[in-house]
Amino acid sequence: VATVDVRITTVAGTSPITTSDHFVYAGTPAVTSVSPSSGTSAGGSSVTVKGTGFTAVEAVTFGSVTGTAVKVTSAKQLTVTTPGHAVGTVDVQVATPGGTSVRVTADHYSFTLPPVTGVTAKPGATSVLLSWINPKGAAVAGVMIRRAAGKIPPSSRTQGTLVTSTGPTAASYTD
């Protein structure tokens, strides 16, 4: 941000410098940190962005998707609500009349899968009915459960038989 004097020059001369001829030039904003630096792909998380040049902010984007509820708290800090976005890491950029912040490592935000919720288990005589609510989002293909035959649990995350459900809730699986 810089203040300059606007002067007019004609054949009759140049206008004098006065306080009423000031023009404030807003430079390009810069992002120096994003906190937190990750959240779910469902969006709706509040994020604090720090940097410089946050005057007359026009938009805050996460990759190519615009955030909402932008609140500028100072020329060096703002808060924004994340949009829904595909899983992955994106640049958070701030746009002002002076330009758009340059992509830097400090502006990275990672969208992660939302958690599985509503998990219940109902044991039966020969099976266990597992139910859950799959997270919503384009990147969610289903929920995977690994099980071992009989009563012995798997000894690692990759041992056992894979059970997959891609519906809104899961169905039972019987040995």
- 164: which strand partners? 144
> Which pLDDT score, from 0 to 100, does residue 148 have?
55
pLDDT for the residue 151: 61
In whole angstroms, give the CA distance from residue 47 to residue 90. 14
What are all long-range contacts of 88-91, with beta carbons under 8 Å and residues at least 24 apart?
Answer: 88/63, 90/62, 90/63, 91/63
Q: How far apart are CA 154 and CA 131, in angstroms?
A: 20
- Which pLDDT does position 158 carry in this prediction? 57
The residue with tokens 């390009």 is 28
pLDDT beneath 70: ranges in the chain: 1-2, 126-128, 133-175
For residue 141, the tally of other CB atoms under 10 A from its CB is 9
